[in-house]
Amino acid sequence: MLFKTITKENFRNMIEGIMENNEVIGPKSRDRDTKGAKIYRFLKLNSFDELEMDYTRSYSSPKNYFLPFKEDLATYDLRDTGWEQEIRYTIHPRIIVGMRACDINALLKLDQVMLKSQYPNPYYSARRRNTVIIGLDHEPLEDCFCRSMNTDTAFHGFDLFMTDIGEKYFVAINSDTGYMILNRFDSCEVGEEDQLLYKEVRGRIESKFKTQVDITIVPELMDLEFESDVWKRWGDKCLSCGSCAMVCPTCYCYGIEEDIDLNFDKATKRRFLYSCNLLDFATVAGGHNFRPEAHIRLKYRYYHQFRGFVEAFNQSLCVGCNRCGKACLAGISPKAVIDDLIGTEKR
């Protein structure tokens, strides 16, 4: 991997330069919570000043820029004798600034399913290939447990990855595109002092993880505790509102709907992100529902995250960002549920 540094002023020039001809997405805030803390979202930036590089965590992950919540897969011209289908995979290139290591690792997990499986997803592929990712390090928050999930650092899956070392950013370069972007603006070679500063910052980050989730035996535990009353306990709190899956950087379950326009001469096939926590999700043709109980649905979401994905790809789907835990009004978080499961095992 190549490394360079860029001053904060030149970084500003770089983003403004990119912004002239490209869509740039980054963390920005609009609302504040009751304690006065800003609520961040990944949104299109209209100017560099909207970009908040000191953001803590975005309420929702930037997943939707790769897997949109709603996406037209095909449109149809309907005629008397048949139809013509139109499919477009093309998208405008775009840049996402400020993605965390956990979110980049989340994309790498999605890549396993969307790019490397037997039936790759061309829509995802178009977005993935046409999105430049500029990552950004941060000090872990109270409830970040990415370290436990081995997703606190990213070594690939991005173009540039930046660490704030004071006056400058220390930049890891991981693609030709990243290299060329950086070269168009004034960047510097890494000096001895930069390297020391970088190590110091990384050390500080690593020393600040507070939350740990012991997932060593969790895949097994999921089977051993399949009938555990832990699921019922948490399931009784669950609102079955799907918020967890919506804000999650890796939940990718979806539904397909077909929509016909009011003239009955055009139609659209649309994919929408769904959640296995929703009652509708397991309803099949004829109206039968395979998972009518909230606690069973909750269990299967955890099952997919911590057991099913491990079986398929030898890693958990969860990246430890705890966005689901934050978004859940009922206070259901992976840490709490897994600790409870482990506790049950020990009892």
The nearer residue to another protein, 245 or 342, going by C-beta atoms, is: 245
User: In whole angstroms, how close is the CB of 167 to another protein at the nearest point?
Assistant: 33
326 or 335: whose CB is closer to another protein?
Answer: 326
Q: Which of 208, 237, 269, 270 binds another protein (CB under 8 A)?
A: 237
250-261 as b/e, with b when 16 or more CB fall inside 10 Å? bbbebeeeeeee
Are the C-beta atoms of residues 333 and 234 closer than 8 Å to each other?
no
Give 107-113 contacts, CB < 8 A, sequence gap 24+. Answer: 107/66, 107/133, 107/157, 107/249, 108/154, 108/156, 108/157, 109/250, 109/309, 109/313, 109/315, 109/317, 109/319, 110/63, 110/66, 110/67, 110/250, 110/252, 111/157, 112/312, 112/313, 113/252
Q: Name which of 160, 21, 179, 43 is nearest 92 in CA terms.
A: 21
What SS3 class is residue 43?
strand
CB of 171 to another protein, least distance (A): 28
Per rule CB under 8 A, is residue 97 in the interface with another protein?
A: no
Among 1, 20, 34, 314, binds another protein (CB under 8 A): 34
Window 113-142: residues binding another protein (CB under 8 A): none
**Which residues, 6 or more positions from 213, have their beta carbon under 8 angstroms from its beta carbon?**
145, 148, 149, 320, 334, 335, 338, 339
With CA atoms as reference, report the closest residue to 164 among 128, 200, 216: 200
Q: Which DSSP letter does residue 4 get?
A: E
Interacting residue with another protein among 20, 21, 82, 227 (CB under 8 A) = 82
Candidate list 24, 96, 247, 251; residue touching another protein; CB under 8 A: 247
290 binds another protein (CB under 8 A): no
Q: Between residue 167 and residue 206, which ones bind another protein under the rule CB under 8 A?
A: none
If the CB atoms of residues 5 and 58 are measured against another protein, the closer one turns out to be 58
Residue 246 binds another protein (CB under 8 A): yes
Closest CA to 248 of 309, 157, 327: 327
Q: Does 24 bind another protein (CB under 8 A)?
A: no
296 contacts another protein (rule: CB under 8 A): no
Q: How many other CB atoms are there within 10 angstroms of residue 214's CB atom? A: 10
Task: Identify which of residues 165 and 246 has a Cβ nearer to another protein in the complex.
Answer: 246
List 20, 21, 223, 262, residue binding another protein (CB under 8 A): 262
Contact at 8 Å (CB) between 70 and 270?
yes
Nearer to another protein, 73 or 330 (CB): 330
Q: Whole-angstrom Cα distance, residue 256 to residue 288?
A: 18
The single-letter DSSP state of residue 159 is: S
Angle at 147 between CA 144 and CA 148, to 5 degrees: 95
| Residue 32 C-beta: closest distance to another protein, Å | 7
Q: How far is the CB of 331 from another protein (least distance, A)?
A: 8
Shortest distance (Å) from residue 42 CB to another protein: 8
> Per CB under 8 A, does 59 bind another protein?
yes
Which among 98-106, 127-135, 169-177, 278-286 is the span making contact with another protein, rule CB under 8 A?
278-286
User: Can you spell out the DSSP letters for 165-214?
Assistant: -SSEEEEEE-SHHHHHHHHHS--EEPPHHHHHHHHHHHHHHHHT------
Decide: is 279 part of the binding site for another protein (CB under 8 A).
yes
Minimum distance of another protein from residue 52's CB (angstroms)? 15
One of 20, 80, 189, 223 touching another protein (CB under 8 A)? 80
Query: Minimum distance from CB of 203 to another protein (Å)?
Result: 33
Q: Does 241 bind another protein (CB under 8 A)?
A: yes
Question: Which residues of this protein are in contact with another protein, per CB under 8 A?
Answer: 30-34, 39, 41-43, 59-60, 64, 69-70, 78-83, 236-243, 246-247, 259-264, 273, 275, 278-280, 283, 292, 294, 327, 329-330
